[in-house]
Amino acid sequence: MLKHTVKHLKPYTPEKPLDDLKKELGLTNLVRMSANENPFGTSPEVKQAVANWNFSQSRDYPDGNASQLRMAVANQLHVASEQLVFGNGLDEVIALIARTFLEPGDEVVEPWPTFSEYRLHAEIEGAKVVDVPIQSETGNFDLGAMVQAITPRTKLIWLCNPNNPTGTLLSLAALTRFMRQVPENVLVLVDEAYIEFTDDYPATSAVSLLPQFDNLVVLRTFSKIYGLANFRVGFGIFPKQLVTYLQSVRLPYNLSTIAQLSAQAALADQRFVQTTRNRVQQARRSWETFLTDSALPHYTSQTNFQFFQAPQNQAYALKQELLQHGFLVRDGLMPGWLRITFGTADQNRAVQQVIQAFLVNLQSE
Ligand SMILES: *Cc1c(COP(=O)(O)O)cnc(C)c1O
């Protein structure tokens, strides 16, 4: 009775609630540095907006068109409001794209490693995913090989920029050259979940290329720099000729009113965004210096996390050591490598000290 493509899937293992994990490990303090959340929290304007919400609206369906949020985002990004499709988190937009475009036997090209949801939803639709390994020295996409991987069956190409988990940024010049080599009937999806953290934002964003290419989509989320992961708001900016189809497939009331007004309040507080960006840039410099000084192989990050190779293939041991000290980091994304979400300046220093002690210990063994 099961759909053929679903038979072998395993459910996504979400992060355990921090409190449960703390109890399990007997820790009083545990910092999650594994989910790329904003270490500086959420704008206080969001708290105010939620507190001011009229509870008697609970029984009413939300605005299925997210009209006010739509206008605010369109104004901020200088795009037409009809081009926007909102989702219950960007995750839902990724699922919606797969559901709208993919049929069994279609092909999807993506870099490897990258965000795992692209593959999951392509596979559910019976499409074949073609992984194109990143260039191991720099962590950059191998765009030449990605163009080579396109066949008459290719429908979608995913580019996560900056890429999760490598943290590397693809330049707009390189993206433009790539777009010129991609056939017009192949849709290129640029996932900009972390773009606001980049040094030269907004000049780094592909939004400015949208008028040039009818097969380009840019995706954004409120979960990362806006610190709103709990409210589940993401969106895509689509070519006008495709919007009707996505809106027809989308569930009608996918964003609650609280989610919509929270995102609006978060968007309006650009001072919080700017402060977060500055603090994340500082953290990035400190991590870059630390990893270089420690001679640990790593890629150049433009995000709020850092990807690096653990010494002597000891990724699991280092992860456990960090956990004992109250820091949860992410492994399993590329063999031997760990991904650490930046914390506050104090937390970063403490984590770096644990890593340093681990290195000293390894050398003396
Ligand atoms: C976190 C993340 C998302 C998902 O964001 P949500 O809006 O929380 O669903 C999408 N893409 C990438 C690359 C991410 O890291």
Q: What is the CATH number of the domain that holds 94?
A: 3.40.640.10
* 89 C-beta closer than 6 A to ligand 1: yes
In this prediction, residue 13 carries a pLDDT of: 77
The structural domain count of the chain equals: 2
Last residue of a domain, one of 269, 297, 326: 269
172, 102: one domain: yes
103, 165: one domain: yes
Q: Where are the beta strands (DSSP E) in 25-73?
A: 31-32
Work out the burial of residue 104: count CB atoms within 10 Å of its CB; fewer than 13 is exposed, 13-18 middle, 19 or more buried: exposed
* 164 C-beta closer than 6 A to ligand 1: yes
Last residue of a domain, one of 250, 269, 288: 269
For residue 165, say if its preceding peptide bond is cis, omega within 30 degrees of 0: yes
In this prediction, residue 14 carries a pLDDT of: 77
23, 63: one domain: no
- The CATH number of whichever domain residue 26 belongs to comes to 3.90.1150.10
Low-confidence ranges of the chain (pLDDT < 70): none
Is residue 53 helix, strand or coil? coil
Rounded Cα–Cα distance for residues 323 and 28 (Å): 12
261, 277: one domain: no
CA-234 nearest atom, ligand 1: 7
Residue 278 lies inside a defined structural domain of this protein: yes
26, 160: one domain: no
Residue 299 lies inside a defined structural domain of this protein: yes
Maximum distance among all alpha carbons in the chain? 65
For residue 113, say if its preceding peptide bond is cis, omega within 30 degrees of 0: yes
Last residue of a domain, one of 269, 291, 313: 269
CB 234 within 8 A of CB 92: yes
224, 301: one domain: no
In this prediction, residue 16 carries a pLDDT of: 83
* 234 C-beta closer than 6 A to ligand 1: yes
Ligand 1 centroid to residue 113 C-alpha, Å = 15
* 221 C-beta closer than 6 A to ligand 1: yes
Rounded Cα–Cα distance for residues 264 and 266 (Å): 5
CB 152 within 8 A of CB 293: no
DSSP code of 339?
E
Give the residue whose CA is nearest to atom 2 of ligand 1. 193
Residue 4 lies inside a defined structural domain of this protein: no
Q: How many residues does the structure list for the chain?
A: 365
Domain that holds residue 169: 44-269
82, 231: one domain: yes
